[in-house]
Amino acid sequence: MALVVVCAFLCLCCWVSFYFILCNVNGSRSYEWNCRLVTLVHGILAVCITAYIGYVDGPWPFTYPGTKNTPLQISAMVVSLGYFIFDMAWCVYFRTEGPVMLAHHTMSILGILLTLWLGESGIESCAVLFGSEITNPLLQARWFLKQTGHYGTLLGDVVDVLFVLLFVVMRIFVGGTMLYCELISPRPRFFIKCGGVAMYALSWVFMVDIVRFARRKSKTWQKQKRDHQETVAANGHEGKKD
14 has a pLDDT exceeding 80: yes
Q: What pLDDT band is residue 3 in, cutting at 50, 70 and 90?
A: confident
Mean per-residue pLDDT, 130-150: 93
* pTM attached to this predicted model: 0.88
110 has a pLDDT exceeding 70: yes
Confidence (pLDDT) at 97: 87
135 has a pLDDT exceeding 70: yes
Contacts of 90 (CB under 8 A, 6+ apart): 19, 35, 96
10 has a pLDDT exceeding 80: yes
Confidence (pLDDT) at 109: 94
- In DSSP terms, 120 is beta-bridged to 68
Is the distance from CB of 56 to CB of 62 less than 8 angstroms? no
Grouping H, G, I as helix, E, B as strand and the rest as coil, residue 120 is: strand
pLDDT in tens, 156-182: 999 999 999 999 999 999 999 999 999
6-15, 37-46, 153-162, 228-237, range with the lowest pLDDT: 228-237
**Phi, psi angle pair for 120, to nearest 5°:** -150, 170
Confidence (pLDDT) at 238: 58
Residue 31 exposed, middle or buried by CB count within 10 Å (0-12, 13-18, 19+): middle
Mean per-residue pLDDT, 19-35: 94
State how far the Cα of 193 lies from the Cα of 196, in Å rounded to an integer.
5
Q: State the average pLDDT for the chain.
A: 90
Residue 153 exposed, middle or buried by CB count within 10 Å (0-12, 13-18, 19+): exposed
Confidence (pLDDT) at 228: 64
Is the distance from CB of 39 to CB of 88 less than 8 angstroms? no
Confidence (pLDDT) at 123: 94
Contacts of 27 (CB under 8 A, 6+ apart): none
The CA distances from residue 9 to 78, 82, 100, 167, 179, in Å, are 9, 7, 26, 31, 30
232 has a pLDDT exceeding 90: no
State how far the Cα of 3 lies from the Cα of 35, in Å rounded to an integer.
28
pLDDT in tens, 182-209: 999 999 999 999 999 999 999 999 999 9
241 has a pLDDT exceeding 60: no
- In DSSP terms, 68 is beta-bridged to 120
Is the distance from CB of 112 to CB of 121 less than 8 angstroms? no
